[in-house]
Chains A and B, each alone.
Chain A
Amino acid sequence: MPSLLRFRSLARVLALILMLEPGLALAYLDPNTGGLLFQVLAPVFAAVAGVWFTLRRAIGQAFRNAWDRLRSQRSR
Chain B
Amino acid sequence: MKETSAHGSYAPAERSLVTMLSLAASAMCILWVPLVALCHVDGLRMYSTWPQIARDFSLLTLIAVGLVSAGSLLVWIATRALLAWQRSAREIAWWAGISVPLLLCLLQLAYTLHTWLAVLRVDHPSIALIAPRWIAALLLVLALCFGPIRTQGRSLAAHCAQGILDLRWLAASLIVVSAVGALLLAPEEDSKLDAAPAHVPIRPAPNILLVSLDTLAAADAGVCLSGPDNMPRLRAFATQAACFEHFYAASNATSPAMSSIDTGLYPWQHWAVQLGGGLPRPLRLLSLGAGLKALGYTTHYVGPMMQASPSYRQTHGGYDTIDPVAGRTLQQWASDRLVQLNGSNLSAVSYLTLSFLGALDVRLGGSRYPYPPKDVYDTALARFRQIETSRRPWFLWMHSMQPHAPYLPTAEHRYRRLAPGTLETWADLLPDNTAYKPERQGLVDQHRLRYQESMLAADQALGDMLQELSRRRLLDNTIVVVTGDHGESFSHGWLGHGSSALHQDVIRVPLIIRLPGQTQARLMPTPTSQVDLAPSLLELAGAASAPPAMAGRSFAPALHGLPTPARPIYAMAMQRQSRFEPIRAGDYVMISGDAKLSYHLPSGRFELIDLSADPGEQQDIAKADPLRARKMLVTLQEAIAAAERMRQQSVGGQPAH
- Interface membership of A65, Cβ < 8 A: no
Bound form: Cα–Cα A41–B38 in Å? 7
Give the distance to chain A from B416, nearest Cβ to Cβ, in Å. 25
Bound form: Cα–Cα A16–B361 in Å? 22
Report yes or no: B139 in contact with A23, Cβ–Cβ below 8 A: no
Stretch at the interface among B62-70, B151-159, B603-611: B151-159
B431 partner residues in chain A, CB cutoff 8 A: 24-25, 27
Please pick, from A15, A19, A29, the residue contacting B433 in the complex, using a CB distance under 8 A.
A29
Report yes or no: B38 in contact with A25, Cβ–Cβ below 8 A: no
- Interface membership of B379, Cβ < 8 A: no
* CB closest chain-A residue, reference B578: A32
Give the distance to chain B from A5, nearest Cβ to Cβ, in Å. 6
- Interface membership of A38, Cβ < 8 A: yes
- Interface membership of B411, Cβ < 8 A: no
Bound form: Cα–Cα A38–B123 in Å? 13
Report yes or no: B114 in contact with A37, Cβ–Cβ below 8 A: no
Interface positions, chain B 261-314, Cβ under 8 Å from A, are 274-276, 307
Give the distance to chain B from A28, nearest Cβ to Cβ, in Å. 6
B10 partner residues in chain A, CB cutoff 8 A: 1
Give the distance to chain A from B275, nearest Cβ to Cβ, in Å. 5
B interface secondary structure, majority: helix
A interface secondary structure, majority: helix
Number of interface residues of A (CB under 8 A): 45
Report yes or no: A17 in contact with B109, Cβ–Cβ below 8 A: yes
Report yes or no: B38 in contact with A52, Cβ–Cβ below 8 A: no
Report yes or no: B119 in contact with A17, Cβ–Cβ below 8 A: no
Report yes or no: B139 in contact with A38, Cβ–Cβ below 8 A: no
Bound form: Cα–Cα A49–B39 in Å? 16
Q: A26-44 CB contact bits vs B (8 Å, 1 = yes)?
A: 1111111111111101110
A18 partner residues in chain B, CB cutoff 8 A: 110, 113-114, 132-133, 135-136, 139
Known: A18-B135, A22-B114, A35-B42. A27 touches B433 (CB 8 A): yes
- Interface membership of A9, Cβ < 8 A: yes
Interface positions, chain B 25-63, Cβ under 8 Å from A, are 31, 34-35, 38-43, 45-46
* CB closest chain-A residue, reference B577: A32
* CB closest chain-A residue, reference B351: A28
* CB closest chain-B residue, reference A14: B139
Bound form: Cα–Cα A12–B140 in Å? 6
Known: A33-B43, A38-B39. A9 touches B575 (CB 8 A): no
Report yes or no: A13 in contact with B42, Cβ–Cβ below 8 A: no
Interface residues of A (CB under 8 A from B): 1-2, 4-6, 8-39, 41-43, 45, 49, 52-53, 56
6 A-B pairs closest in CB distance: A23-B359, A35-B42, A18-B136, A9-B156, A25-B362, A20-B110
A19-B136, A39-B116 known, 19 other contacts, Cβ within 8 Å: A9-B143, A9-B152, A15-B137, A18-B113, A18-B139, A22-B110, A22-B355, A23-B355, A25-B432, A26-B358, A28-B275, A28-B351, A28-B352, A33-B115, A33-B352, A38-B38, A38-B116, A45-B35, A52-B167
